[in-house]
Each structure stands twice: as structure tokens, then as C-alpha cells.
Amino acid sequence: MSITPHNLVRHELIGLKVKVEKSTDPSQKGIYGTVIDETYNTLKIETKDKEKTVIKGNCVFVFTLPDKTKVQVDGKLLISRPEDRIKKKFSRW
């Protein structure tokens, strides 16, 4: 199954380009790079300079899909283990 804006939340995020659009932590706003790891509460993003860890629940992310489509996702939807999130049912998605 290919990744689309409708199934992004239920898909693997590692390898996707991401930008932190909004954050409660001003130092995290604007971080841009590639998702290299994911845990229950965090995304690890590889930027040009270094790896940065961002808390999912505090941010709104814009993911760039392989077909260059941009999708905005509230980080609160992403909070869970990646393997459990794939099985979840989301009313909005």
C-alpha cells in the first residue's frame, strides 16, 4: 500500500521529510529534515547539522510524501508506538 495523505498517520514515518510547523517550544519551530527514528513520544529528525529529537505532542508537523504532496498533521495523533499506531482507527483519517 502506497503512502497517501489519507493513510499517512497509519503509515511508517521513517524516511519522510518533515518540518516542525508549530511548537510549544520556540527552539523547535522550523526544524526541517528527515525522520530517522520514532519512539512512543518523539521523532528523531536528521537536519543538515545534527540529529534533533522533537516531542510529538507539542508540535504540528508538515510531512512531504514521496510524490511531493505536503500533509499537515497534529503531533497528538502520532503519539503511540509506531507498530501500534498502524493498527489504530482514526475518525478523521
Residue 31 contacts residue 54 (beta carbons within 8 Å): yes
Query: Residue 34 corresponds to which cell in the numbers above?
Result: 528527515
Residue 76 contacts residue 57 (beta carbons within 8 Å): yes
Q: Which domains does the chain have, with CATH numbers?
A: 8-85 (2.30.30.210)
Q: So what's the pLDDT on residue 9?
A: 85
Angle at Cα 37 formed by Cα 52 and Cα 62, nearest 5°?
Answer: 70
pLDDT tens digit sequence for 10-31: 888 999 999 999 999 999 999 9
Q: So what's the pLDDT on residue 91?
A: 58
Q: Output the pTM of the full model.
A: 0.88
Residues in the chain, pLDDT under 70: 1, 88-93
